[in-house]
A and B are shown apart, each in its own frame.
Chain A
């Protein structure tokens, strides 16, 4: 199976060098060649399993605020923050934050 690694790296938001892309292409081909055995398994009418607990046993808590760490406690971990907000580079490449 040929993989368009440049496209996948774009989807994954990973910057890879040309050499890394080449190595990645080879690795993914080796793995997918192995995994392709799954195509031979009869799965018609079989429901997929997405989790290890039955969905009805997964309990969601009421969506209500509870006491916890303050926003400031999380913001101080940020590479860049100002006035209680995270600072990120602008959408366009205008060089401003």
Chain B
């Protein structure tokens, strides 16, 4: 087995036991990135020099008898909206041209303290607004399972890097599904923790009441390990929780027999494709066979979640993105007066989707429209939260497919923005309610007219606030019955990547 194929917990154990050095693990990954990333385009920047210093520090700690941490020598990529001191942070936007982070995000600093080696910054939809990673100002990332298809988004670079074996784990951010949807599209595990579980300090804000940082990994144990390393109270984020951090990676084998799982019928009513439905129901049968009590349930207000999200998220974004004004950092177009500077910098620096959301949010918050749009959406958000609270009186977890379809083709997104936003229909309600949810691979679906070609599907497991333990244990149970098929097909996919064509940058 190659070093880039190992899981995080395997790397950490081997590095600590001096079977392999952190530097050897890193070099294997840097070579793999050089070989494969030209056809995937997952990294916006590879931090070779910085990573080599970090890896040698881990090795020095071990040589000196110090504890190197639970992620000793584990390569980790960061979505490019997470600040790492002394490196560029672009949010895949031209407006952050020339910006170098003056500080490091708390979640990232904690991973480094635990021995992780940061290898680079990954591509994303500009300012995390999108579901395909095609809305980056710099390049389009490809899905390693089929390089004609999108990896999902907005954290598509991180998902593609982990799936392709370019990074053992990666961080993403999830405001409406931006970790779970790309995880489902690329056949890996993606976890959105409970709001407040992981500090948002150092994450470039999109919608502050919805954003959470979370891990991508190729198995559930690795996702749990990364969460363990970065969760916990941080005084720099007023909304971070002081709930104790749980050793989640050691609690995965908790029996699922007797677990009560509800399937909200509203989440299956959004044009779910036959292939995804079939993989989902087959996973439900396997879970029932393990003693999980699976029942259909109803959360009526979920029918409005997408509309509520597309009022609240743009409203918060329009406020958060007002800081990009050409004064303190990044692009600055100096016109006649200071108002021209704002307008020209923002008009030129933001891409079309970001401008659209700023406009929508500004409209929803404007004096005439505030009550009809923003305030009304905030009230319906209360109804959505109540529906979840009610459901969790009867169930331990709720289950749904993560996405209505498998990964779509690059360039196939609809011109109609609302049709595009439907890609988030299964995931946005979880952010509105601040709940934890994971996407775990649950099987494969044939592509219509694809001559038998298959793409991975994800199962979404939603939990009670701060109950990541049950969510991860349920995900571990699902993983147990797909593991063999997934590992075999993933290994084949990774071998094929060397034959893929190189991708081209965006004009």
Contacts and interface: CB of A to CB of B under 8 A. Distances in A.
Nearest to B435: A52
Majority SS at the chain B contact face: helix
Interface string A73-97: 1100111100000101111110101
B307 to A, nearest CB: 5
A89 B335 contact: yes
Nearest to A25: B359
Interface stretch (B122-130, B337-345, B446-454): B337-345
A5 B355 CA distance: 12
Contacts of B383: 41, 43, 46
Most A CB contacts (10 A, CB to CB) among B311, B363, B378 go to B363
Nearest to B332: A79
B395 interface: no
A71 B330 CA distance: 17
Given A37-B304, A52-B195, A86 B311 contact: no
B341 A15 contact: no
Contact of B311 (A20, A38, A53, A73): A38
B434 interface: yes
Contacts of B376: 38-39, 41, 43
Given A3-B363, A78-B327, A88 B341 contact: yes
Contact of B359 (A5, A39, A51): A5
Closest 9 CB pairs of A and B: A15-B347, A52-B434, A48-B378, A79-B332, A52-B195, A93-B336, A15-B343, A43-B379, A13-B342
B14 interface: no
A61 B201 CA distance: 14
A34 B322 CA distance: 26
Most B CB contacts (10 A, CB to CB) among A3, A73, A77 go to A77
Contacts of A69: 102-103
Interface in A1-41: 3, 5, 8-9, 11-16, 20, 24, 27-28, 30-32, 34-35, 37-39, 41
B239 A58 contact: yes
Contacts of A73: 102
Contacts of B506: none
A24 B328 contact: no
A95 B363 CA distance: 32
B196 interface: yes
B304 A38 contact: yes
A92 B322 CA distance: 21
B378 A50 contact: yes
A13 B350 CA distance: 12
Contacts of A34: 307, 310, 418
B103 A24 contact: no
B327 A30 contact: no
A63 interface: no
A44 B298 CA distance: 22
Interface residues of B, number: 72
Interface string B376-390: 111111110100000
B346 interface: yes
B342 to A, nearest CB: 4
Given A31-B360, A93-B340, 17 more contacts: A12-B358, A24-B359, A34-B310, A37-B304, A41-B304, A48-B375, A49-B379, A50-B378, A52-B209, A52-B239, A57-B241, A74-B328, A77-B98, A77-B99, A78-B329, A79-B329, A93-B336
Contacts of A77: 98-100, 102, 328-329
B326 interface: yes
A89 B380 CA distance: 43
A51 B341 contact: no
22 contacts: A8-B359, A8-B366, A12-B318, A12-B362, A15-B344, A24-B355, A28-B356, A31-B421, A34-B310, A38-B307, A39-B372, A49-B385, A52-B210, A77-B99, A77-B102, A86-B328, A88-B338, A88-B341, A90-B337, A93-B337, A93-B340, A97-B334
A93 to B, nearest CB: 4
Given A27-B417, A89-B336, A38 B346 contact: no
B327 A88 contact: yes
B347 A16 contact: yes
Contact of A46 (B308, B335, B350, B382): B382
Most B CB contacts (10 A, CB to CB) among A74, A88, A91 go to A88
B238 A61 contact: yes
Nearest to A46: B379
B488 interface: no
